[in-house]
């Protein structure tokens, strides 16, 4: 952080484009155009934690998912996991757990496909500095129509999985405290099986495309917005990647375990959040390490790094290949997020296949109840990383406290580090162009942030860049896609 901003020029990228939600980046330049400070600001404020207070606890899984339209299933299920414990029904029936898992894998599949094909592929296919008139999803659709169609169809498939498990493609009601409100009918299963093999084929191809791109451009991508960091995720008891259930595992940049299999209910003993005055988004850190060194990354890269293995064959083979790049040590390359994300895409479709052939999904034992509790934590892996939901409920069944630490919040410090690095490496001393400023956004997109969730709104995607002189006068202004 700079001690004083006096005499520095301020460049603003607002809003950041091709991300979920609304944010801005400010860059402070000195007289020699050297970057002195770069920050990602989250400018939304939503207040879910406050306004669900007083509501009936069973309403929360349905209400709180309205945080987001991209991965509402994550919030739906994290809240449901917490409410399972409130009703003493955390040991779900096989049908309930597998229906929820199917819903969650469906969401991973659609969210990862959306991110790769619609938000990221323009940067990879046309180049970071390409003409913004073609560096967008329409450009992809015109030049690579088959890829664009795949992206749309894969997202649709994931949404169809969600519809058949949650009742609706967006904002369903499937998970209820202690279980699920429906099973999967044979007809629904067969509808999903119809397009399954095509989805597997397209997932393999997308992974190959991304892997080949990364390996081919490794020299450029390896240092791009990269830095060493801790990594955090939940992990299955046997060390397998698990996005629905598991204890918390954190590792250092070189793979040493900081903690492992931490009981979700005790997360507050291990995770704390720091507030900084310039952002609505908090900065979480590993408590024993403190805010200076305790910050960590979450999401696909962190999950592949923390996992001992993946329990589906093709994704496991892909993981081994990924880890071989860094000789088995954690991969700390920001741009490797994309490769890791597509390994998860393949894993998700493999799991969907496995589940669709499981007869438990046609079971009729849907809900369990037990001894009532008044406090519970629900943690799972959302597409963008570890998601924490923590609630207290009073004897009248009303929510009296809610604390949400969402995936993108966990990645707050890493995203700031990534853009700081890119700004210093690529922007310092240069005439600023739209293409160069896109480098900043490329680094942010690697993390697939959901700024709506992170502030607990839907933002617009146009971009305004202003260069302001020392006295606050606008000396340069570039506008794209903004109605003024």
Partner 1 sequence: MSATIEFTIDGKEIKGQPGQTILEAAQQAGVYIPRLCYMKGLTPWGSCRVCTVLINGRPQAACTQPIAPGMVVESSTDKVNALRRNIIDMLFVEGNHFCMFCEKSGSCELQALAYRLGIAAPKYPFMFPKRELDMSHPDVFIDHNRCIQCARCVRASRDVDGKHVFDFADRGAHRRIAVNAEAFLKDTDLAVTDKAAEACPVGAIVKKRTGYAVPFGQRLYDKKPIGSEIEAGVKS
Taking the complex as a whole, the smallest distance from the CB of residue 144 to partner 1 amounts, in Å, to 36
What is the rounded CA–CA span in Å between residue 51 and residue 66?
12
Taking the complex as a whole, the smallest distance from the CB of residue 83 to partner 1 amounts, in Å, to 10
Taking the complex as a whole, the smallest distance from the CB of residue 224 to partner 1 amounts, in Å, to 41
Residue whose CB is less far from partner 1, 195 or 397? 397
Give the containing element (helix H, strand E) for 231.
strand 230-235
Q: Which of the 8 DSSP states describes residue 309?
A: B
Left, alpha or beta for 14 (phi > 0: left; psi -120 to 50: alpha)? Answer: beta
What is the rounded CA–CA span in Å between residue 208 and residue 421?
28
Residue whose CB is less far from partner 1, 164 or 390? 164
Taking the complex as a whole, the smallest distance from the CB of residue 219 to partner 1 amounts, in Å, to 49
Taking the complex as a whole, the smallest distance from the CB of residue 167 to partner 1 amounts, in Å, to 3
Residue whose CB is less far from partner 1, 298 or 399? 399
Residue whose CB is less far from partner 1, 132 or 167? 167
Residue whose CB is less far from partner 1, 87 or 427? 87
Taking the complex as a whole, the smallest distance from the CB of residue 368 to partner 1 amounts, in Å, to 13
Residue whose CB is less far from partner 1, 61 or 246? 61
Taking the complex as a whole, the smallest distance from the CB of residue 354 to partner 1 amounts, in Å, to 23
Residues that bind partner 1 (CB under 8 A): 54-56, 58-59, 61-63, 66, 87, 167-168, 171-174, 176-177, 181-182, 367, 396-398
Give the angle subtended at the CA of 239 by the CAs of 234 and 240, to the nearest 5°: 80
Q: Which long-range contacts (CB under 8 A, 24 or more apart) does 208-212 make?
A: 210/116, 210/124, 210/338, 210/339, 210/341, 210/342, 211/318, 211/321, 211/322, 211/339, 211/342
**What 3-state class would DSSP assign to 35?**
strand
Q: Please, which residues bridge with residue 35 across strands?
A: 29
Taking the complex as a whole, the smallest distance from the CB of residue 394 to partner 1 amounts, in Å, to 8
Taking the complex as a whole, the smallest distance from the CB of residue 88 to partner 1 amounts, in Å, to 12
Residue whose CB is less far from partner 1, 343 or 453? 453
Q: Which of 436, 479, 443, 423 is nearest to 28 (CA)?
A: 423
* Half-sphere exposure at residue 68, Cβ-oriented, CA atoms within 13 angstroms: 28
Taking the complex as a whole, the smallest distance from the CB of residue 93 to partner 1 amounts, in Å, to 15
Using an 8 Å Cβ cutoff, are 404 and 394 in contact? no
Residue whose CB is less far from partner 1, 325 or 367? 367
Token look-up 């094909």 returns 117
What is the rounded CA–CA span in Å between residue 274 and residue 480?
34
Residue whose CB is less far from partner 1, 161 or 304? 161
Tokens of 231: 């990594």
Report the DSSP pairing between strands 296-297 and 230-235.
parallel
Tokens of 226: 């990269």
Range list of β-strands (E), 292-372: 296-297
Give me the count of residues in the chain.
Answer: 484
Residue whose CB is less far from partner 1, 200 or 367? 367
């Amino acid at each position: 952080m700079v001690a004083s901003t006096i005499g520095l020029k301020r460049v603003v990228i607002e809003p950041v484009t091709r991300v979920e939600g609304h944010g801005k980046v400010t860059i402070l330049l000195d007289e020699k155009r050297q970057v002195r400070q770069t920050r990602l600001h989250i400018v939304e404020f939503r207040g879910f934690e406050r306004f669900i207070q007083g509501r009936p606890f069973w309403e929360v899984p349905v209400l709180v998912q309205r945080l987001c339209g991209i991965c509402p299933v994550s919030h739906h299920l994290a809240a449901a996991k917490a409410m399972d414990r409130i009703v003493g029904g955390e040991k779900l029936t096989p049908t309930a757990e597998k229906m929820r898992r199917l819903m969650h894998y469906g969401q991973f599949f659609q969210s990862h496909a959306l991110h790769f094909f619609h938000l990221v592929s323009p940067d990879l296919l046309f180049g970071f500095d390409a003409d913004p008139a073609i560096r967008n999803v329409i450009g992809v659709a015109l030049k690579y129509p088959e890829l664009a169609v795949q992206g749309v169809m894969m997202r649709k498939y994931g949404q169809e999985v969600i519809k058949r498990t949650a009742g609706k493609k967006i904002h369903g009601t499937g998970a209820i405290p202690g279980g699920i409100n429906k099973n999967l009918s044979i007809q629904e299963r067969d509808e999903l099986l119809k397009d399954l093999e095509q989805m597997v084929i397209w997932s393999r191809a997308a992974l190959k495309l991304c892997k080949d791109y990364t390996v081919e451009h490794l020299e450029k991508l390896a240092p791009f917005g990269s830095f060493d960091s801790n990594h955090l995720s939940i992990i299955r008891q046997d060390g397998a990647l698990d996005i629905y259930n598991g204890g918390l595992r954190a590792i250092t940049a070189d793979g040493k375990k900081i903690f492992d299999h931490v009981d979700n209910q005790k997360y507050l003993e291990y995770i704390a959040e720091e507030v900084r005055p310039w952002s609505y988004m908090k900065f979480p850190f590993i408590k024993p390490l403190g805010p200076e060194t305790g910050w960590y990354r979450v999401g696909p890269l962190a999950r592949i790094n923390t996992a001992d293995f993946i329990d589906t064959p093709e994704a496991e083979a892909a993981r081994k290949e990924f880890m071989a790049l860094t000789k088995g040590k954690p991969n700390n390359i920001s741009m490797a997020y994309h490769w890791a994300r597509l390994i998860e895409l393949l894993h998700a479709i493999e799991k969907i296949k496995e589940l669709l052939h499981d007869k438990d999904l046609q079971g009729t034992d849907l809900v369990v109840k037990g001894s009532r509790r008044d406090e519970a934590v629900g943690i799972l892996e959302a597409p963008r990383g570890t998601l924490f939901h923590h609630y207290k409920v009073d004897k009248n069944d009303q929510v009296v406290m809610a604390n949400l630490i969402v995936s993108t919040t966990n990645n707050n410090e890493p995203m700031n580090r990534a853009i700081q690095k890119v700004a210093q490496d690529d922007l310092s001393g240069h005439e600023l162009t739209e293409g160069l400023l896109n480098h900043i956004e490329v680094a942010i997109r690697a993390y697939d942030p959901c700024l709506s969730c992170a502030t607990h709104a839907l933002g617009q995607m146009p971009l305004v860049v202003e260069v302001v002189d020392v006295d606050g006068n606008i000396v340069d202004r570039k506008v794209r896609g903004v109605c003024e």
